[in-house]
Amino acid sequence: MKVLYIDDDADTRYLMRELLADAGKEVLRIEWQDASGVEEALELNGTEPFDAVLVDNRLGGRPGVDQVGRLRDRWRCPVWVVSGVPTRALEEQAVAAGAEGLLSKDELLADGRSLSQAIVRIIVRMKEAHAGGS
């Protein structure tokens, strides 16, 4: 599974990579890439296929939730919005924008197991959606 994580905070990107490595990403067979913003992601990874994209909602000038359509159009894969302040209203906004849902950044950063469990949930939802669409 190839996952792209977009977050403008370099420390958070680093921590996500390290947590996933500590959790044994080889076992999950996850190829993790990250970018500091949507434009960088599109430039660096524009033609790269991904199985899922996680985008932080707080990306400076334009919220990640506002970028969901662009990301889905480019990669045609599930997009999840990540927020340090997840609310029901933001989740509804993310889903209305075309995201699969909202993930809590605090939960993802709690430890490697939390992050890997979130990735497993993403995989399960992808398989369920694919099975339902067949």
32 Cβ partners below 8 Å, 6+ apart?
3, 5, 16, 17, 20, 25
Distances (CA, A) of 27 to 15, 30, 114, 117: 19, 8, 15, 12
Give the pLDDT of residue 46: 62
Q: How far apart are CA 3 and CA 16, in angstroms?
A: 12
Q: What is the CATH number of domain 2-133?
A: 3.40.50.2300
Distances (CA, A) of 51 to 71, 97, 110: 12, 18, 23
User: Domain ranges in the chain?
Assistant: 2-133
Give the pLDDT of residue 81: 96
> Packing angle between helix 68-75 and helix 38-45, nearest 10 degrees?
10
Give the pLDDT of residue 109: 86
Give the pLDDT of residue 67: 95
Q: Which residues of the chain have pLDDT under 50?
A: none
How buried is residue 15: exposed, middle or buried, by Cβ count under 10 Å (0-12/13-18/19+)?
middle
Give the pLDDT of residue 118: 79
Give the pLDDT of residue 63: 92
Please tell me what DSSP assigns to residue 59.
-
- 2-6 β-sheet, strand order: 31-35, 2-6, 52-56, 79-83, 101-104
